[in-house]
Chain A
């Protein structure tokens, strides 16, 4: 027979059961809350990682998308805003970059970074009046987190502005920082261009070949190499330009380069065919006009060559090498006085840009 006490123990007390159930729900709730909070943090962290990796690949649109995804959940995340701002600036989207920077400051970001990003935006497009302090900083603190951005902006801007020494120095620093593969490609392209301006043929080819090795699917690497070897090794140039055209069939610079390479091989008919297939559009393309002129010259159609090269000079009056080409065709046509005037103009333009004149305009890679 059961005792009273035993029967009491077997019967649950209602208030105790409610309390346990409540506690259980609290725990479940807390766990869910934790999971949710942790998940969101993990997700935003993952998005940031993806964004930074995209920036390393120089996929700046993707980097901005990832940063925006983070900001949906964490609107005040300064790292994400800075990633978006830098990516926009590195993609040369200055309006977008400015908006992001304003948001960065509004969210409590460091004002000095705002100033730095604004300066880098100007430097990277060749406005180098504020480059000095950044170059000093790069040399003083080569391992600072922002050093790679300084080196990049200085490299790209200096090469654009024709400041060959600065471009070489900055791009070499950039490479020394062991950046991502995509950034190394950019640095090699800058170093190659700088060496080409210095007429250092071997160094030029070395950097462009490195770039091709690092980024075989990037048409720009093949284009640069092709342009560098078009007179040295026209067969190799043909292969380079054909690779570009396989990747981007309507790439105009590659088409013009291929025509020149074919012309250099004495395949004038093939060169003419390539040039005829390039759509001219409304805006004159100086490179195309010049190549047409040079081809006409090789075809011994000197009057036609003069006409094309004059059009090229009119379309790009600042190009000293075009003036040299015009001077040369004028000399061949016996217009020696005008040829000399044009040659002097070419030398003056070259002097203005490079500080010296080669008398031929052969600087152009």
Chain B
């Protein structure tokens, strides 16, 4: 009997124990299961939303990487494998999109960068880069050697201009200890040859570390003058040790550790030579320029020069043409509000561009900046007044962990409003609170409910090309396949060049490229083109420089939804205004407008007045 009771008792205890264990495990599991299902639904919810919107609607913005189709396989180098952590390695290289052989197709030049040779790896050398001829249908062929662009030079930038006004696009390269100027000549056999005319032109006197450059007719003689940014006074004998943040060893120095090298401005004398006018025209003796843009911001048809300095006030030079023919460059960055950010401090500025972001008909200035700063959108209020509007345009949503370089305004979605593309990548090898490789960003220009304009990050919705991180630097835009849509070429540091095709679903009938052709092939930087619709006007400017160490295509691109434009109006440098009614997109989508061929418009032009 006792045994039976004991057995029953043990059985009951076992049952009770099992019950307690089951209850406790179910309590333990339940919250986890709940959390998991919650988080899963959240995660899947987000993905599903994006996925469903992506699958249900065709994105108005989409790019695809077509590099593998193009045959372009090239990486510019910076020499970091030598482990010097020199500041020279931080800049990277640019890209130029131009039609060097006048076949109507945009070709690609990629600046090559450099490396450190010799037994101690302290011989600074490099390569000009690679020139790829566009064969059409996204096929390119390397013609670098054929055209004579082979040489050892630690190269950063590539800047295109017909400096001799012979109708062929010439090429200026910038790099460590100077510039190289190549004249684009046609040989007797019809082949193209880039002839190094640096010494002949007088530009071999430029011995400083040159970065960005821009061409524009500053003195009004029709010949393109040259502005060259210089960076800092660095060499192996002036190579400070900069400790790595939060660790042992060294890292790349910030520019604050090195003295500035003043920029130079050269007057084109029209005979193939240039003369250094930096002192006589009144250039500032400071600045660590990495970006420069020439564009007419005050509507007087004379280009201003905007310089993005890395760790100093940005400059805005206004060209003063005096009665006696003398030129003065008046630096007005601080008084116009484009020298500093909205906190009143200078930034580490790299890339630049300008566009009419708000439909005002005025070009606002755009600058990409360093980590812990915001990229700067200086809204043009007219009367040479600018207002830092990064926050108001929603761009601060990107945060402050990115380091911006190449950048361009482009109407990626063809809605008539220029969107914004930015290449990011850090300069420090061991950045704190950020990463070496960073994301490309595409900001779409959208209307707010209040009728304002705002930039919204569309990078996650514009194709898989935006997913991988890279050490972004050079960036240039142009229509590589002549479909009216603007494509992109990127030149990240030590990584293969990328060619992005714009896939936006739009009709080529709703796009128009405009190429201005000045009398006697005069330089047209400063000209303004307005495409007039019934309800609005789209405005573009002939500009030079822009982005970062790169050159965009020369053609001005327009796109629209709905009714065709009624007229196109061009304000030429000097103030002449011409109009063409009902512009039609010709085959190839590029309309060539020759100065003097349009209907003259008598319009009083207010100098510096804006609209």
Which residues, 273 to 304 on A, are CB-close (under 8 Å) to B? 297-300, 302
Chain B nearest CB: distance from A246 CB in Å?
17
Residue of B334, B372, B391 contacting most chain A CB atoms (<10 Å): B391
Chain A nearest CB: distance from B375 CB in Å?
13
Contact yes or no, B392 A232, CB < 8 A: no
Interface assignment of B59: CB less than 8 Å from any CB of chain A: no
Which residues, 365 to 410 on B, are CB-close (under 8 Å) to A? 372, 374, 379, 381, 385, 387, 389, 391-397, 399-401
Beyond A266-B394, A298-B392, A362-B343, whether A331 also contacts B337 by CB under 8 A is yes
Interface assignment of A172: CB less than 8 Å from any CB of chain B: no
Among residues of A, the one whose C-beta sits closest to the C-beta of B374 is A231
Contact yes or no, B387 A300, CB < 8 A: yes
Contact yes or no, B399 A328, CB < 8 A: no
Q: Of the candidates A232, A263, A327, which one forms a contact with B399 in the assembled complex, judged by CB atoms under 8 Å apart?
A: A232
In the complex, which residues of chain B have a beta carbon less than 8 angstroms from the beta carbon of A328?
A: 342-344
In the complex, which residues of chain B have a beta carbon less than 8 angstroms from the beta carbon of A324?
A: 343-344
- CA A347 – CA B152 in complex, angstroms? 49
Chain A nearest CB: distance from B486 CB in Å?
24
- CA A300 – CA B342 in complex, angstroms? 13
> SS class of chain A's interface: helix, strand, loop or mixed?
helix
Interface assignment of B450: CB less than 8 Å from any CB of chain A: yes
- CA A234 – CA B372 in complex, angstroms? 14
Beyond A232-B400, A265-B397, whether A300 also contacts B449 by CB under 8 A is no
Chain B nearest CB: distance from A131 CB in Å?
30
Beyond A202-B433, A300-B381, whether A232 also contacts B397 by CB under 8 A is no
Residue count of chain A within 8 Å CB distance of chain B: 32
Interface assignment of A336: CB less than 8 Å from any CB of chain B: yes
Contact yes or no, A264 B396, CB < 8 A: yes
Contact yes or no, A361 B343, CB < 8 A: yes
Interface assignment of B345: CB less than 8 Å from any CB of chain A: yes
Q: Of the candidates A299, A331, A332, A343, which one forms a contact with B392 in the assembled complex, judged by CB atoms under 8 Å apart?
A: A299
Interface assignment of B285: CB less than 8 Å from any CB of chain A: no
Interface assignment of B35: CB less than 8 Å from any CB of chain A: no
In the complex, which residues of chain B have a beta carbon less than 8 angstroms from the beta carbon of A332?
A: 337, 385, 387
Contact yes or no, A358 B433, CB < 8 A: no
Residue of B344, B432, B433, B452 contacting most chain A CB atoms (<10 Å): B344
- CA A231 – CA B375 in complex, angstroms? 12
Interface assignment of B36: CB less than 8 Å from any CB of chain A: no
Contact yes or no, B391 A298, CB < 8 A: yes
Chain A nearest CB: distance from B393 CB in Å?
5
Q: Of the candidates B345, B372, B385, B452, which one forms a contact with A359 in the assembled complex, judged by CB atoms under 8 Å apart?
A: B345
In the complex, which residues of chain A have a beta carbon less than 8 angstroms from the beta carbon of B25?
A: none
Contact flags (1/0) for A232-243 with B, using CB distance below 8 Å?
111100000000
Interface assignment of B130: CB less than 8 Å from any CB of chain A: no
Among residues of A, the one whose C-beta sits closest to the C-beta of B379 is A300
Contact yes or no, A266 B335, CB < 8 A: no
Chain A nearest CB: distance from B436 CB in Å?
16
- CA A362 – CA B455 in complex, angstroms? 25
In the complex, which residues of chain A have a beta carbon less than 8 angstroms from the beta carbon of B448?
A: 266-269
Beyond A232-B401, A300-B381, A360-B343, whether A201 also contacts B454 by CB under 8 A is no
Among residues of A, the one whose C-beta sits closest to the C-beta of B381 is A300
Among residues of A, the one whose C-beta sits closest to the C-beta of B452 is A268
In the complex, which residues of chain B have a beta carbon less than 8 angstroms from the beta carbon of A267?
A: 394, 448
- CA A79 – CA B119 in complex, angstroms? 76
Which residues, 334 to 372 on B, are CB-close (under 8 Å) to A? 334-335, 337, 342-345, 372
Among residues of A, the one whose C-beta sits closest to the C-beta of B339 is A331
In the complex, which residues of chain B have a beta carbon less than 8 angstroms from the beta carbon of A235?
A: 397
In the complex, which residues of chain B have a beta carbon less than 8 angstroms from the beta carbon of A360?
A: 343-345
Contact yes or no, B392 A362, CB < 8 A: no
Contact flags (1/0) for B444-474 with A, using CB distance below 8 Å?
0000111010110000000000000000000
Contact yes or no, B395 A233, CB < 8 A: no
Contact yes or no, B455 A266, CB < 8 A: yes
Q: Of the candidates B374, B393, B400, which one forms a contact with A266 in the assembled complex, judged by CB atoms under 8 Å apart?
A: B393
Among residues of B, the one whose C-beta sits closest to the C-beta of A358 is B345
Which residues, 61 to 118 on B, are CB-close (under 8 Å) to A? none
In the complex, which residues of chain A have a beta carbon less than 8 angstroms from the beta carbon of B335?
A: 334, 336
Among residues of B, the one whose C-beta sits closest to the C-beta of A235 is B397
Contact yes or no, B433 A234, CB < 8 A: no
In the complex, which residues of chain A have a beta carbon less than 8 angstroms from the beta carbon of B381?
A: 300
- CA A233 – CA B432 in complex, angstroms? 16
Beyond A266-B454, A266-B455, whether A298 also contacts B343 by CB under 8 A is no
Chain B nearest CB: distance from A108 CB in Å?
50
- CA A360 – CA B344 in complex, angstroms? 6
In the complex, which residues of chain B have a beta carbon less than 8 angstroms from the beta carbon of A202?
A: 432-433
Contact yes or no, B449 A234, CB < 8 A: no
- CA A324 – CA B340 in complex, angstroms? 13
- CA A268 – CA B450 in complex, angstroms? 9
In the complex, which residues of chain A have a beta carbon less than 8 angstroms from the beta carbon of B342?
A: 328
Contact yes or no, A331 B344, CB < 8 A: yes
Chain A nearest CB: distance from B574 CB in Å?
30
Among residues of A, the one whose C-beta sits closest to the C-beta of B372 is A201
In the complex, which residues of chain B have a beta carbon less than 8 angstroms from the beta carbon of A362?
A: 343, 345
Contact yes or no, A231 B452, CB < 8 A: no
Contact flags (1/0) for B214-248 with A, using CB distance below 8 Å?
00000000000000000000000000000000000
In the complex, which residues of chain A have a beta carbon less than 8 angstroms from the beta carbon of B400?
A: 231-232
In the complex, which residues of chain A have a beta carbon less than 8 angstroms from the beta carbon of B374?
A: 231
Chain A nearest CB: distance from B450 CB in Å?
5
- CA A361 – CA B395 in complex, angstroms? 22
In the complex, which residues of chain A have a beta carbon less than 8 angstroms from the beta carbon of B393?
A: 266
Q: Which 10 A/B pairs are nearest by Cβ-Cβ distance?
A: A266-B394, A298-B392, A360-B345, A202-B433, A360-B343, A264-B396, A266-B454, A328-B344, A269-B450, A232-B400
A residues within 8 Å of B by Cβ?
201-202, 231-235, 263-269, 297-300, 302, 324, 327-328, 331-332, 334, 336, 343, 358-362
9 contacts between A and B (CB under 8 A): A202-B432, A263-B391, A266-B448, A266-B454, A267-B394, A334-B335, A334-B385, A359-B345, A362-B343
Q: A235-B397, A332-B387 are in contact. List 5 more A-B contacts (CB 8 A).
A: A233-B399, A266-B392, A269-B448, A300-B387, A300-B389
